[in-house]
Amino acid sequence: MISQYKKESIANTKSFISSTRLFERAGVFVAILLAAILGNYVAHLATRQIHNTLTIYVAGVLIGLLVGIVTGIYVKRIWRRLLPAPQEETQQKTS
């Protein structure tokens, strides 16, 4: 009976881990997609009146990078609010 419980517990743990991995990967993909769209949009707005091609390229890359970093920071903050740390890990750290 105990071995049956352990098998079911392991199976549930594996399915939970795989679903968590899928959720994390989907979240990362959405964050990357959001950063790319926002970066492209802001870069086009910022470089609209620049006429030199090299300046447009450099400014677009820098602005896109900045928007990507800011988007990553906000996604990380939102991610922490949506998925709080497990209680077991936080109790071990405080002990």
Give pLDDT tens digits for 18-55: 677 777 788 788 888 888 888 888 888 888 898 999 99
The average pLDDT across 56-82 equals 86
End-to-end CA distance of the chain: 35
Q: Which residue has the higher pLDDT, 60 or 4?
A: 60
Residue with tokens 């071995």: 3
Q: Are 82 and 73 in contact (CB under 8 A)?
A: no
Mean pLDDT across the chain, nearest whole number?
77
- CA distances to 21, 32, 51, 55, 78 from 81, rounded to whole Å, are 18, 19, 43, 39, 5
